[in-house]
Chain A
Amino acid sequence: MSVLTNLIDGFATAMTVTNLAWMIAGAVLGTLIGILPGLGNPAATLAILLPLTLRLPPTTGLIMMAGIYHGAKFAGATTAILLNIPTETSSVVLCYDGHELAKQGRAGPAMGMSAISGFIASTVGIVALTFAAPLAAQLAVNFGPPEFAVLMFFGLLLVVTLAGKSPVKGLISMFLGLLVSTVGVDIFTGTERFTFGSVNLYDGIEFLILTLGLFAVGEVLVNLEKVRGKVEKLDAPKRLRDYLPNMEDFKQSRLAIAIGSVIGFFIGALPGGGSTMASFVSYAVVKNTSKHPERFGTGAIEGVAGPEAANNSEAGGAMIPLLSLGLPGSASTSVMLAALLLYGVQPGPLLFTNHPEIAWPVIASLYLGTIALLVLNLPLIPLWVQILRIPYWLLYPIILILAVVGAYSVRGSIFDVYLLMAFSVTGYLLRKLEVPATPMLMAFVLGPEAELTVRQSLMLSNNNPMIFLERPISATILITTVIVVVLSAWGRRRQRRRAASAALHTQFVATAVVDTVK
Chain B
Amino acid sequence: MKTFLQRQRHAAALALLMLLSAGAITACTDNGGIDKNGKPGEVQFVVDTGPGGGSDVFARQIVKIALANKLIDGNWPVLSRSQGGGLAAMSFLKQKAPQPDYIAAFTSKWIISGLNTPSAEATVKDLTLIAQVAVEPQMVAVPANSPYKTMADFIADAKAKPGQLVQVGGAYSSVDNLAALKVQENTGTKWKYLSFADGGPRITALLRGDAQMMLGAQTDFSEEVAAGQLRIIGVMGKHRAPKFPDVPTFAEQGISEDGLPDVLQWRAIAGPANMPVAAVAYYRDVFSKMTQTQDWRTYMDEEGLVSEYVAGPALDQRVQSFTTSMTPMVRLLKSANK
Contacts and interface: CB of A to CB of B under 8 A. Distances in A.
Interface of A: 43-44, 46-47, 50-51, 54, 140-145, 185-191, 197, 199-200, 202-203, 271-272, 321, 325-329, 331, 334-335, 337-338, 341-342, 344, 346-351, 411-413, 452, 456, 459-460
Contacts of B334: 190
A262 to B, nearest CB: 22
Pairs of residues from A and B, 10 with the lowest C-beta to C-beta distance, nearest first: A348-B223, A47-B51, A271-B200, A327-B200, A349-B227, A338-B52, A335-B52, A202-B84, A190-B173, A334-B52
A342 B222 CA distance: 16
Contact of A413 (B57, B88, B116, B204): B88
B227 A43 contact: no
B194 A460 contact: yes
B91 to A, nearest CB: 7
Interface in B243-285: none
A364 B171 CA distance: 36
A203 B82 contact: yes
B172 A187 contact: yes
20 contacts: A43-B51, A44-B51, A50-B60, A51-B77, A54-B64, A144-B204, A145-B205, A189-B337, A197-B119, A202-B83, A271-B204, A334-B52, A338-B57, A341-B61, A342-B60, A348-B222, A349-B226, A411-B82, A452-B195, A456-B194
B126 to A, nearest CB: 14
Given A271-B198, A325-B203, A460-B166, 6 more contacts: A51-B77, A141-B208, A187-B172, A349-B226, A350-B223, A460-B210
Nearest to B336: A189
Contacts of A331: 52
Nearest to B79: A412
Contacts of A199: 83-84, 87-88, 91, 117, 119-121
B198 to A, nearest CB: 6
A144 B302 contact: no
B88 A349 contact: no
B50 interface: yes
B197 interface: yes
A350 B226 contact: yes
Contact of A335 (B51, B92, B207, B229): B51
B333 interface: yes
A98 to B, nearest CB: 28
B200 A350 contact: no
A202 B194 CA distance: 21
Given A338-B51, A342-B61, A326 B302 contact: no
A411 B198 CA distance: 19
Interface string B218-240: 00001110110100000000000
A344 B300 CA distance: 12
B39 interface: no
B201 interface: yes
Nearest to B46: A412
B51 A321 contact: no
B73 to A, nearest CB: 15
B101 interface: no
A321 B197 contact: no
B242 interface: no
B207 A141 contact: yes
Contact of B75 (A51, A185, A189, A328): A51
A335 B92 CA distance: 24
Nearest to A186: B172
Contacts of B195: 187-188, 452, 456
Given A144-B208, A190-B172, A342 B227 contact: no
Contacts of B83: 199-200, 202-203, 411, 413
Nearest to B166: A460
A43 B194 contact: no
B176 interface: no
Contacts of B121: 199
Contact of A346 (B75, B77, B192, B302): B302
Instruction: Point out which of A54, A199, A272 has the most chain B C-beta atoms below 10 A from its C-beta.
Output: A199
Given A50-B51, A188-B195, A144 B205 contact: yes
B56 interface: yes
Given A144-B208, A349-B229, A191 B337 contact: yes
A184 to B, nearest CB: 10
B318 interface: no
Nearest to A191: B337
A241 to B, nearest CB: 35
A144 B207 CA distance: 10
Interface string B175-197: 00000000000000000101111
B81 interface: yes
Nearest to B205: A144
Given A327-B200, A342-B60, A411-B81, A348 B210 contact: no
B199 interface: yes
A115 B224 CA distance: 37
A272 B201 contact: yes
